[in-house]
Structure 1
Amino acid sequence: MSELAATAVPRRRNAAAGPRWAARFYARTPAWAGILAIYVGARLITTGLLLWATTLSGASGSRFGHGASIASFVTGWDAQWYWYIVVYGYPTVLPLGPDGHITQNSWAFLPVYPWVSQVFALPFGNGGWGVGAALVSLVAGYLCCLVLFRMMRNRIGRMAAVWTVVFFASGPLGALFQVGYAEVLNMLFLLLALDGLIRRRYVRLYPLIVLMGFTRPGVLAFALMLGLMLVVRWVRRKADPLAGREIAHYLALGALGVVVGFSWQVIAGIATGVPNAY
């Protein structure tokens, strides 16, 4: 028994050494630097996976064919439409298919991400939009990690919050953090809005709701959540007092979310003369 116990103790210590070492490292490292190390490591992995995907492009029958590069993936799919919006804007005459129905067009994609990407692309001159789009996604992804860490740290502890960031930054959809898609920028606005809601800094939510509404569809779901939260806060008002000022903010923010959520449909209809353009 004593021999078994003697061999078991070192194993327990070795198993815990990794987490203890990581805890000491992140306790001594500024949050922004520790999160940056995680994020850069995750992006190196996804970059390697994208490079691997380029070698398989031709053999797998990908639309990019032989000779695909990382740039092909960064500016492919939805990113092509965002680039098109920057270069040509939104059409006033909608394309129609042989059956007379409206075909896919730029109105299906919201304007904030392509315009912000164009600003980031300015230093790179003509043809630099793909670089700007990748930079927007990369920077927004890192900021998402910082906001997520701050949201979780006070609830589950510093080290658990670090692991939350690890799984978030290196998840199955991690490649989105470095391609020309609007999801990551919208996620940043969403996390900032949730953080403001948790901290009850309601004024911050007004511009964020507008930005979300013109970055990716989904702000109507956020408006619904605000309504449900108001109901919950009302039911729990004895344990958690609900001031009249807070009720006013919930109602105003919910109304703003509904208006913004339907506004792009109205804008597209006015610009094209077709009510169901979007």
Structure 2
Amino acid sequence: MSTVARRRTGFATAAQAWAGQAGSAYRSWPWWVQVTVIYASARLVSACIFMAAALHQGPNPWFPAKPDYWNFINIWDARWYGEVIANGYPSELPTDAAGNVQENAWAFYPLFPALAGGLSRLTGLIPAASLTLLAMLAGWGAALVVYTLFRHRVSHVPALWGVAFFATFPVSAILQVPYAESLSLLLLAAALLLVVRRHYLMAIPVVVLLCLSRPIGVPFAAMLGLVLVYRLLERFRSGGAAGLPAGNHTFGEMAALTGLTAVAGVSALAWPAAAWAATGDFQAYTKTETVWRGHDLVPFKPWFDTGVDLFGPVLGLLAPFVFVALFGLMLFLPPVVRLGVELRLWCACYMGYLLAFLHPQTSTFRMLLPLFPLALGAVLLSRSRAYRGTVVTMFLLLQIVWIVWLWAWAQLPGGGDYPP
């Protein structure tokens, strides 16, 4: 064996030994440290992708070309949250000369800017810095709670892989920018955890805050309603009407679940009601939300319109039904069934909400993050490290696509750009 070959062999052996030692040390750390390492590593990779994309950012509406990392992540909706901190919400909806409502701050829920504004006042940080710091801390907290939630269904290792899938998902870079997604996911994961643990009364304040973070209260209330129906059917099937526990649910737990469902339903309407009270327009929130889509809200119709645009007049009308059928079948796959009733119902209700009220566009990818319980289902498809490592690698590569295609701004021929 030549000297060069011996050196290469020695280097490979040393690298393998070092990797083995590092792996052993990692496995000996507390679970929250392991989760933190996974999440921080994922965010570091995303930061590198952001910085590389920023080097190629040309002229745009916010700053000169080739911005630094901090300026680059403080664009798009981040500017609206800064506007809320600086000026609050308008008492009158802005309109154009024809009386059409224009884009305004009522589309952005209040919890994220309220917390960031309070942080700015306490620390003296500028709003953009407070928004960014809050988003990053909330994303870290979400990863910790997601792991805890997954541990209710699986052992330590697959739960860690579930966090890895969650932290590297192609749009997970949004968790480190000044958007409300990270805070909303933290509250959503916490609310789901409390529901899974049947701590329904403890979940009430979490659900109220969740409904003030993003427009996610309607599907969550629907999920709770279906869980309540499911538990009632369990009770009647097992003779619970005679006063005995059924499905391991006592009468007190059933009453608490009923109260939580009611609170969630009312809280889901709190922000539209606040917009109505402040502006005097009953449809203030709805009118504001539909400004970005360019037409009035007609449930389900945008999906058929998009289907026709993509696949033609025949296949396009069938496409939404095919999608719903495939998604429904997926919820009954054995790895997904292991998620449990609550998490599966959440995924079903949230997807139903998107189908009913979302206008499918490039922002749809970002709005899929609340389906994060399916990350654990994806992990459970196979125990192979090669499979799981390949998924993480593909997710990271697709982050490059998402950031370069949607986050970086490049004017379209007709003006503007696709939103992330």
TM over 0.5: yes
Unaligned runs of 5+ in 2: 1-16, 239-245, 286-420
TM-score after normalising by structure 2: 0.58
TM-score after normalising by structure 1: 0.86
Q: Which residue of 1 aligns with 2:257?
A: 250
* Superposition deviation, residue 103 in structure 1: 0.9
**Aligned residue pairs, count:** 259
Written as runs of structure 1 = structure 2, the 5 A alignment for 1:11-22 is none
Q: Which residue of 1 aligns with 2:36?
A: 36
* Superposition deviation, residue 120 in structure 1: 2.8
* Superposition deviation, residue 62 in structure 1: 4.6
Which aligned segments of 4 or more residues in structure 1 are displaced greater than 6 angstroms?
17-23
Q: Which amino acid aligns with 1:188?
A: L
**Distance between the aligned counterparts of 2:214 and 2:175, measured in 1?**
15
**Distance between the aligned counterparts of 1:263 and 1:151, measured in 2?**
27
* Superposition deviation, residue 257 in structure 1: 1.3
**Distance between the aligned counterparts of 1:194 and 1:125, measured in 2?**
34
Which of these residues, 208, 215, 226, is aligned with residue 213 of structure 2? 215
Query: Does structure 2 retain, via aligned residues, the 8 Å contact 1:141–1:188?
Result: yes
Q: Secondary structure at the match of 1:216?
A: coil
Does residue 234 of the first structure (1) align with residue 232 of the second (2)?
A: yes
Q: Secondary structure at the match of 2:284?
A: coil
* Superposition deviation, residue 115 in structure 1: 1.3
Q: Deviations over 1:139-192 (max 9, x none)?
A: 111111111111222422111111111111111112112111001101100100
* Superposition deviation, residue 92 in structure 1: 0.8
Q: Deviations over 1:24-78 (max 9, x none)?
A: 44441111211111111111101011101211210xx654451323223332111
**Distance between the aligned counterparts of 1:35 and 1:242, measured in 2?**
32
Q: Which residue of 2 aligns with 1:272?
A: 279
Which of these residues, 192, 195, 202, is aligned with residue 193 of structure 2? 195
Greater relative CO (CA pairs within 8 A, separation 6+): 2
Q: Which amino acid aligns with 2:141?
A: L
**Distance between the aligned counterparts of 1:144 and 1:63, measured in 2?**
32
Q: Which amino acid aligns with 2:233?
A: V
Query: Does structure 1 retain, via aligned residues, the 8 Å contact 2:56–2:66?
Result: no
Q: Secondary structure at the match of 1:51?
A: helix
1:154–1:70 distance in 2 versus 1, CA, 3 Å: same
**Distance between the aligned counterparts of 2:257 and 2:201, measured in 1?**
11
Which of these residues, 193, 202, 205, is aligned with residue 203 of structure 2? 205
Q: Which residue of 2 aligns with 1:140?
A: 138
**Distance between the aligned counterparts of 1:18 and 1:153, measured in 2?**
29
Q: Secondary structure at the match of 2:137?
A: helix
**Distance between the aligned counterparts of 2:152 and 2:274, measured in 1?**
42
1:252–1:23 distance in 2 versus 1, CA, 3 Å: farther
Q: Secondary structure at the match of 1:92?
A: coil
1:18–1:149 distance in 2 versus 1, CA, 3 Å: farther
**Distance between the aligned counterparts of 2:205 and 2:42, measured in 1?**
31
Written as runs of structure 1 = structure 2, the 5 A alignment for 1:120-135 is 120-122=119-121, 125=124, 128-135=126-133
**Distance between the aligned counterparts of 2:263 and 2:52, measured in 1?**
44
* Superposition deviation, residue 236 in structure 1: 2.2
Does residue 165 of the first structure (1) align with residue 172 of the second (2)?
A: no
Query: Does structure 2 retain, via aligned residues, the 8 Å contact 1:23–1:159?
Result: no
Q: Which residue of 2 aligns with 1:118?
A: 117
Q: Which residue of 1 aligns with 2:108?
A: 109
Query: Does structure 2 retain, via aligned residues, the 8 Å contact 1:74–1:130?
Result: no
Q: Percent identity?
A: 34
Point out the more displaced range, 142-151 or 68-77. Answer: 68-77
* Superposition deviation, residue 132 in structure 1: 1.1
Written as runs of structure 1 = structure 2, the 5 A alignment for 1:55-134 is 55-58=55-58, 62-64=60-62, 66-122=65-121, 125=124, 128-134=126-132
Q: Which residue of 1 aligns with 2:346?
A: none
Q: Secondary structure at the match of 1:97?
A: coil
Q: Which residue of 2 aligns with 1:224?
A: 222
The CA RMSD measured in Å over matched residues stands at: 2.2
